[in-house]
Structures are given as C-alpha cells and as structure tokens.
Amino acid sequence: MSDEEEPEKPTPSRGRAKGKSTAHKKRAETYNIYIYKVLKQVHPEMGVSKRAMFILNSFVHDIFDRICSEAAKLCQYSHKQ
C-alpha cells in the first residue's frame, strides 16, 4: 500500500446530510372543508362549532368505510376486483 492519503471530499454547504431523514407528521385527512362548503351552500348565514365539525367528520368517515366494505363484499361475490 502507498502512504498517500486520499483528498477529503468537500461537505455540501446546503441541504441535509446524507443518510439523515427528517420525520414529517402525516397530515390527517378530514372532510372539514367539504362539509363547510356544503353548509354554506345550504345555509350561508350559519356556522359550525369545532365539536359539531368533529362529529360530522366522524360520521362521514364511518359512512365511507361502510361503503368501502360493502363494495369489497360485492366484488368478492361477483369475483371481480
């Protein structure tokens, strides 16, 4: 082996270090804006509280899950995907 040393590579001045990742918080998907838009179409003068919005969001999410599970069952029955 030779006694010569390899030249050091310059470190990047911008960006993050290689191999390190930053943890990003996953955004919670809600139906809040859609519920609010429909409310304003039906009753433009009305508002909705945070608690009521949470309840409506849970309701819509539950109904969506039920529709998805029923669609999956129907696909199984008809042997389609």
Is the Cβ–Cβ distance between 31 and 57 less than 8 Å? yes
Q: Determine the pLDDT at residue 78.
A: 85
pLDDT at 13: 61
The pLDDT tens digits for 62-77 are: 999 999 999 999 988 8
Q: Enter the tokens of residue 61.
A: 């999410």
pTM to 2 decimal places: 0.62
Tens of pLDDT, residue by residue over 25-71, are: 888 889 999 999 999 999 999 999 999 999 999 999 999 999 999 99
pLDDT in tens, 2-11: 556 666 666 6
Note whether 60 and 39 are within 8 A (CB): no
Q: Which two tokens stand for residue 60?
A: 């819509």
